[in-house]
Amino acid sequence: MKRPIVGYHLDDEGSWVAELECGHGQHVRHEPPWQVRPWVTSPEGRARFLGYELDCVECDREQPDEKAEDETPDDKAPDDKATPVHEKPEEGEAR
């Protein structure tokens, strides 16, 4: 889930952590060639990225699984008259 950066702080090891609007934090490191974020290295660069949205993994974990909500519950049978998706209706037959 995308969340805007609202601030920064240094962790115990001296790495920058973006503080997200949701209250979670995410490391924003500049470690080429794996992570290229030169903007992290200066106060001006970090200020320029305030409001930038990062994907918050913690918020994603807290969200219920949307796929599970879309599935038919076990106690509710599907409509027997519906044509299954994998079967095509006969020519001239309405779906």
Domain residues for the domain of 31 are 2-65
Mean pLDDT of 48-56: 97
Tell me whether residue 54 is in a domain. yes
Tell me whether residue 85 is in a domain. no
Number of domains in the chain: 1
pLDDT in tens, 28-37: 999 999 999 9
Mean pLDDT of 43-61: 96
**Residue from 15, 58, 75 nearest 40 by CA:** 15
Tell me whether residue 41 is in a domain. yes
pTM assigned to the model: 0.64
Q: What angle do CA 30, 34, 40 make, to 5 degrees?
A: 15
**Interatomic CA distance for residues 2 and 16, integer angstroms:** 19
Tell me whether residue 89 is in a domain. no
Confidence band for 63, pLDDT divided at 50, 70 and 90: confident
Q: Please say if the pLDDT value at position 82 is more than 50.
A: no
Tell me whether residue 86 is in a domain. no
pLDDT at position 90 is 52
